[in-house]
Chain A
Amino acid sequence: MVASPEDMTQLTQAPDRGGPAQPLLEVRGLVKHFPIRGGLFGRQVAVVRAVDGVDLTIRKGETLGIVGESGCGKSTTARLLMRLLDPDAGEMVFDGESVGGNDQAGGIALRDYRRQVQMVFQDSYASLNPRLTIEETIAFAPKVHGVSPTEARERSHDLLAAVGLAPAQFARRYPHELSGGQRQRINIARALALQPRLVILDEPVSALDKSVEAQVLNLLMDLKEKFGLTYAFISHDLNVVQYISDRVLVMYLGKVAETGPVEEIYDRPAHPYTRALLASRPSMDPSKRRTEPPLTGDPPNPVNPPSGCRFRTRCPMAEAVCAEREPPSAHLTAGHEAACHAVMPGSGHGAAPRIAA
């Protein structure tokens, strides 16, 4: 591809197409199953239902927090959103355009999609090329997308400054010469190098010490404002998600358990799993120690998830109906949905509200 002279010198954020009401990313019925092969001929013996029918919406300019325990499919969801994995089913619409389209069907091509969506991973060292200097790492993607080498280098210096690392001091260093917090700043700078609109942050602060975690969270807030970004923030840390998110999505075993505005989820959790998750946070006050754990046991294996509601095996409110039918999403208040029979009118659960006559 021959880039035009304008492209050589400029790489700007793609313009808004659908207007403010159009969600930046809308995902319906996302499914990803991983086959487990075994036996003599490598036949498929089982399937991991990592993501099993996830709907989500990321609005323009917001931060969507995705929380859940290990095995709930949050990282697989992140990789699907980035299209590092191809979904088995489901459709993704980015700012009104179907993702993975071609000339005949219309929509946005993966190459253009990936320029507008970037990702930051948890392991700051594994996600950097150890043989490239910091400035080469950051300038790599812009060069691939047709920016001249000089321009790309200047740009990498600007980004280094934007993430709080002095370019003169850091540009020529290699990843092993940096601390964990500094490396995570590099990963963030690299993600921003293509002027993306959506940044997927997969546990970006989980491996960092608390004092460094706070620095990186502050930086993420600043960059969001400065560059007009939208975040999908994946974490198992409920306190961090509460701090950074506008809306929260709670996942359990490949399904969405509850989604809603951050205040609703934290102040009025409707799903018993969300309540248990919130109650599991250690209290900072030694005089308010809990005596009973909110849940017993570990999350079940996603290879053979329980029938009906997947949470029922650990749920204190489980009834017969929970094993029979999978709960649909119940709309509670504006934007607040929970997939639980106990809040779904007329579901047959003892605690369910009555259907208004």
Chain B
Amino acid sequence: MSAALKMDPAAPLVRARDLSVRFVNRDTTVHAVNGVDLDLAQGEVLCLLGESGSGKSVTLRALMKLLPKQAKVGGSIEVAGRDVQAMSERQLADFRGGDVAMIFQEPMTALDPVFTIGRQIAEAVQRHEGASRSAADARALELLELVQIPSAKRRLAAYPHELSGGLRQRAMIAVALACKPKLLLADEPTTALDATVQIQVLLLLRELQEKLGMGVIFVTHDLGVAGEIADRVAVMYAGRVVEEGPVGPFMAGPLHPYPQGLLGATVHGGMRGKRLTTIPGAPPSLEKLPEACSFAPRCPIAEPACQQGVPEARPMGPGRMARCIRAVAP
């Protein structure tokens, strides 16, 4: 709590400027993220929306400095007022799990199979808060109740493989929340879940976010999930944010042709018998840094000017932005 009190409440929780990530090896360089600016207010939920290869998960990992060594990260990242890039390994160990926590798509690989759920939660509490073993165990029980795991007391002694998919996902959320992080990074946490379980986990995350006042960055490829949980949406394409804005106006009418196409291609009720609109072609290879609008080759409204340089981020009404020279403010 002390760090939170020192912060100006109006200060952004996350501030990334011109973030870039390149994966370099002997043969190739992949430009995964190419100049992303991100702001997240405290207690806000931002959805990073994009297809595979758009750079959304890489961006998320960069915020926690979780990328491997061959990744060249550029630009500045500030989380809770601290420069993530400048942190030492020791500082990072305090930072990860303390100020920032992450949840993943596959809980079975994120949880340790040889420790009980209770032990894994208590370990985080002991490590970060210096609590005694018994205090940490008591906290673990509280957390399992917080994430609404039925018969929590019995489940403390369970190993990850003994839980069903939905409960495992809840247990992973409990581990992440163990030290009341200010920022929760969620990488497609509901993608692998069944429909009836996915909605439970989404509602749980929203409830916990409101209760604990966390900021959340939620990576997803599913527009429906974004509609269910986001305050603000940032759409990524080829390593750049191409549109950003509050979720309501965005869902009602995206401004950039890529999210427009994505919304048209997403099957929902009442489309039966109609032909689906598609986005022709495939995303570009990122082995060369895109020098023009990356979406232009697939864009229905592209014009010669689109080939001249990367489009600037243009403000489009309250809180909205689009990187498209042809976008018009609503």
Q: Does B associate with A?
A: yes
A interface residues (Cβ-Cβ under 8 A, vs B): 69-70, 179, 181, 209-215, 217-218, 221, 236-240, 242-243, 262, 266, 276-277, 280-287, 289-299, 301
Could you name 25 residue pairs across A and B whose Cβ atoms are closer than 8 Å? A69-B195, A69-B196, A209-B51, A211-B261, A213-B267, A215-B278, A218-B278, A243-B272, A262-B272, A276-B196, A280-B198, A280-B199, A281-B199, A282-B224, A282-B225, A284-B223, A290-B199, A290-B228, A293-B200, A295-B196, A296-B200, A297-B150, A297-B166, A298-B165, A298-B197
- The answer to whether B276 has its CB under 8 Å from any CB of chain A is yes
The 8 Å CB contact of B271, one of A237, A243, A277, is A243
**Distance in Å: Cβ of A66 to nearest Cβ of chain B:** 14
**Contact (A293, B203) CB under 8 Å given A283-B228, A298-B165, A298-B166:** yes
B272 touches A242 (CB 8 A): yes
Q: Which residue on chain A has the smallest CB distance to residue B206?
A: A289
| Cβ-defined contact, A211 with B265, below 8 A | yes
The answer to whether B267 and A214 touch across the interface, beta carbons within 8 angstroms, is: yes
Please, how many angstroms separate the alpha-carbon atoms of A162 and B278 in the complex? 18
| B192 to A, closest residue via Cβ | A70
- B258-301 vs A, CB cutoff 8 Å, 1 = contact: the mask equals 00011011111101100111111010000000000000000000
CB atoms of A211 and B196 under 8 A apart:
no
Q: Which residues of B contact A299 (CB under 8 A)?
A: 194, 196
Can you name 17 extra interface pairs (CB under 8 A) apart from A214-B267, A293-B203?
Answer: A70-B165, A209-B52, A210-B262, A212-B282, A214-B264, A214-B265, A218-B276, A236-B194, A280-B195, A281-B195, A281-B224, A282-B227, A285-B227, A286-B247, A290-B228, A298-B167, A298-B197
A277 touches B227 (CB 8 A): no
Distance between A38 CB and nearest chain B CB, rounded to angstroms: 15
Question: Is the pair B278, A214 in contact by a Cβ cutoff of 8 Å?
Answer: yes
Flag whether B248 is at the interface (Cβ < 8 A): yes
A210–B266 alpha-carbon span in the complex (Å): 6
From B225, B228, B278, contact of A211 by CB (8 A) = B278
B224 proximity list for chain A (CB < 8 A) = 281-284
Q: Tell which of B197, B221, B228 touches A210, judged by Cβ atoms closer than 8 Å.
A: B221
Q: Which residues of B contact A209 (CB under 8 A)?
A: 51-52, 221
Complex Cα distance, B251 from A218, in Å, reads: 24
Q: CA separation between A214 and B267, bound complex, in Å?
A: 8
The distance from the CB of B249 to the nearest CB of chain A, in whole angstroms, is 10
Contact among A210, A212, A291 for B223, CB-based, below 8 A:
A210
Report yes or no: A295 in contact with B202, Cβ–Cβ below 8 A. Answer: no
Q: Please indicate the chain A residues that have their CB under 8 angstroms from the CB of B282 in the complex.
A: 179, 181, 212
List B residues at the A interface (Cβ < 8 Å): 51-52, 150, 164-167, 194-200, 202-203, 221-225, 227-228, 230, 247-248, 251, 261-262, 264-269, 271-272, 275-280, 282
Quote the shortest CB–CB distance from A20 to chain B (angstroms).
Answer: 22
- Chain B residues, CB < 8 A from A211: 51, 261-262, 265, 278-279
**Minimum Cβ distance to chain B for residue A54 (Å):** 19
- In angstroms, Cα B207 to Cα A292, docked, is 11
Docked CA distance A73–B225 (Å): 26
Contact of A284 among B164, B251, B261, B276 (CB under 8 A): B251
- For A69, A214, A297, which residue has the most chain B Cβ atoms within 10 angstroms? A214
Residues of B within 8 A of A243 (CB): 267, 271-272, 276
Choose from B164, B197, B199, B248 the contact partner of A287 (Cβ within 8 Å). B248
Per CB-CB distance, the 4 closest pairs between chain A and chain B, nearest first, are: A282-B224, A214-B265, A69-B194, A209-B51
Is A277 touching B196 in the complex (CB atoms < 8 A)? yes
The interface residues of chain A lying within 8 Å CB-to-CB of B221 are: 209-210
In the complex, the chain A residue whose C-beta lies closest to that of B53 is A209
Task: Compute how far the CA of A53 lies from the CA of B248 in the bound complex, rounded to whole angstroms.
Answer: 46
With A181-B282, A210-B266, A212-B282 already in contact, the answer to whether A70 and B194 are too (CB < 8 A) is: yes
Chain A residues, CB < 8 A from B271? 243
Which residue of the partner chain, among A212, A284, A290, contacts B268 with CB atoms under 8 Å? A284
Min C-beta distance of B294 to chain A, whole Å = 14
Give the chain B neighbours of A210 by CB distance below 8 A: 51, 221, 223, 262, 265-266
Query: How far is A158 from B167 in the complex, measured between Cα atoms in Å?
Result: 49
A297 to B201, CA, bound (A): 10
A301 partner residues in chain B, CB cutoff 8 A: 164
B222: which of A70, A282, A291 is its contact (CB, 8 Å)?
Answer: A282
Bound Cα distance from A354 to B165, whole angstroms: 40
Contact A298 B247, beta carbon cutoff 8 Å: no
Judge whether A289 and B266 touch: CB under 8 Å. Answer: no
CB neighbours (8 Å) of B165 from chain A are 70, 298
CB distance from B246 to the nearest CB of A (A): 9
Min CB gap B231→A, angstroms: 9
